[in-house]
Structure 1
């Protein structure tokens, strides 16, 4: 087996005129024959010198074989190389057990020429006066043959020097992997020194991905890299634990060292310790808010207890039972509306099993001018005849005196039946009238000053309504039999109580009450005609008036001689569904002559005449029964009776309670969706639910058609999720409810996603010929789609986009491939492809040699 296979130098670079040495050392237990295949097809067998007759002639003709030598160990030596020696040289080793081979590419260039008559001061090449050529900071590219030519009139002479520049890959002197354990608060020195030619560059990568270079200052950190490559970390904490990587790089290669740093917690840092607090002396305004901070640290987490000036101990547990003081989880003590008794010393105690700490704060309460809470201008509206309440809550020290000023600019006292001033400053006004309206001013005074607040009191009146009918004018047709008594109702409501009058033909006006021989107007406004005559048929008007306006009811009175039996215009039986809270109207239209009297009998037996009200029920004059804001207790049988002198008819309406909503659709298996797509979860019900809510896996509740970020609840109850991510996985619960019950639907959602993975990438070491394009692949799979980026040797980051992009001679394909067009030696270096999405990161690196 050829041992040189482990040598990574599969190419030889030199200059014309120099020498080339290609190793082909063989390890075997038997006799081995070694042959070299030359670029022109010639074969040389070891050992070989120019006088050896074991040369196999090339069909193209062998040239310059006299400058070649094959040593006994298989090494091929070429003396005084020329450009014609460029090409591939193959070493073949074989014995009775098999064969092995190794190919080496030779690339020769012409050496640079420096003339004695053209010195270049200030650069790396300098010819001294005595003819010496000085090269400063020699690099790998300076290797080759340098020729000195001296001439004068008598002739010329020359001398050649072959310069070899060694190039070695980096080698880190410390262990490749090492575990280090240090105490919290101590200083860490992480060593990383490397040798190589040219000298390698050292860099560090922290556990959080930050890269540090020698002598680089990074604000906000406790790390620094010394010029010799040592990483310095001061005041070690738990956040500094993790894996640190040292990278040594030069033009030939790269070397890595990994250190795992463990930070042991010290007893001093575990002990309870107050790290942040309020000032030792704090002033707060009387009636203001008190906030005292006490931030403590330790392991385990310390308990914080406050001691108040009254010697009471309070903590977060005590706060749940008391409304006076509140202690938050972070140790802050909060108090609203500070008084003089809150002045004094407060002590914060922080304690855990390791130790304890304490801190004192002295609080001084500063008196201030009186301040009326919520002193913005307010308008208070009160119904005529009711009582008004105007609040004037004041904070201040010393306690202020309260004074109220009336709209007539007079001071109000409690020495009357009209006004009452409570101890807390509230003004009560009894039985308000129209003249009580206007601006009322509250003045709060003490020795420090005064404050005021203005209320505007508006007295509300409601215009009259006749028989529950609002509007300026309503009309009604009434029929009655001759010689019979007739009651025509005109019940007036409003604030204040309206005045009622009846206007008869020829402008005869009868006020309520009125008592006449054949006609009476009762106090409730009802017109009572004792014995009707045919001549009494006419248009009668009932008028109700108050300070809010006027209402009229025009009655067309017909006096009949004949009787027509009542008849229903609606079905005798009807069933309706009762919905809680939704107003119901039950129809009952009865015809007949004279006009039948309609009565509704409620399930409990209560009878309602036309125009009457009873709690939620109103029997309108057209025969309909209105039920406002019904509850389940209103279910039952409702009877409508229509009667006149000719007989009676009856209609029954059955109100039945509704049913709880039922969800129609079901999900028998989990719902799967690819990350990034939109999702709709349906929650369909045959009935109209009063209330629908969605509970998300995070616990957030959406209780109405709304939009919250990527979540939208539609009018039909469907939950829409835009661009679903892995954070949306879990159980979604839809709940539909009404007054009769509720139904639940639970849906499990699975989001299909996985971290990025690079499935195709370049080899760890890749070779490219100068001027010949090279492609570095980076094929990535992952859901959601990963962001792909390349990092070039000069630390430039190139991000893959949907459109092709060109950066100098680098072409970035949308599929992730990086194509280097016309590569040059400056493109040599380390290239890394990184793929990243919300679930993770994957990366691949390759070192590119351009020869």
Structure 2
């Protein structure tokens, strides 16, 4: 028995539509009695419903029905004694007849794309070069290109006074510059450029004025001096005489602007020559400050240079000043910045004080940058007032602002107590700082013994020989000067040898130092005696 085909799943909406379109189902044929012979008629009966299926049914769905119809015909001899197989075959054919058929939906038409939009106009069309037969222009790309992109540019030109525009490039160019060739010397041309994309041409960008077709020998160039490339600062009342050289041939046309406006001929004079331009102001004031722009132009070529002129003067005084506090020997002062800075920045302040007794002013601080200060080292019992000057690169303000309050340094509670110092005891017992050294001398040759001693009060010095005080013996000379003690022995003999002692004593104690002196005898040889 062939397998039963699987039913096709459909959405509820499709099922409802198919049921409305299908005809009423015919009742299934009754099964023959068991003793009746089985013929091929059941196969035809089964095939008929399959043929009556809707035309939309797929061929794959009809194939199982034909297979079911053929199967009972082949099994007819076996089913003569038993009608169950025939009934089963008839029961299997019924679902094939009632199987729903899928209806294909027609494809939807694609959504058309939005129409292309032209680009915005190109920007900044300028002349790059010109000579007697060609003209080169350049420009910048449009700000808004659009979704369709940019195909290229078209450059057109026309003679001055004519409305006929000639296309310079036969094909679109993607570059941002174009050289227009084969022009006539002496013509004046108007030029414009148009951007093109799938949406069509954009609005045109044209030159501000027509361009003469002629050779420019020397393009204009301003040579601004180095000293004028930065801010040029002058004081009020100074004479301004600025010389700006330039190049250009034929003679360029020179124009000046101040802050974007034409110069006031009453304030500034311009003197132009073939090589330079002079800006002259006889007496400058602060209104002359600003940005001066010089332009030199030869046909469609030009060059610009700017210089900043700043006219400054001394600042005004601080807006206000007040005494904030007073304590001990100090006073705190605070002030505000001046309303008039002199057209330049404030570089500092100068603070002065004056004693009310004398009224003389003394500078306390110079080039001070803060807006508050503490003045110290004020004298006890005096009263002070303070004043402040503003300062900029020109100088100190001519006027000042003075405190309304007076700072009084009180005496109450201040008692001077000198420090007590313990008196130092400078008394010291004698002490030898340089001892006596043993000496040896020859009979008849004077010698000297030396030592050094210190002590406070000044010690008394004595010399002893073999523990005996020498005293005032004329053979010896005793000297004591600035602590240096010396004993001179004049022409000693052999009996002058021995131990010499120097003794120093004062109220604090006694100190001694000793040395040994050896006096040698000269020995004369016998041969020398015979000669004598």
TM range (shorter): under 0.3
Query: Which has the higher Rg, Structure 1 or Structure 2?
Result: 2
Higher relative contact order, structure no. (Cα contacts within 8 Å, ≥ 6 residues apart): 2
Structure number having the greater strand percentage: 1
Normalised TM-score (structure 1): 0.17
TM-score (norm 2): 0.25
Higher relative helix content: 2
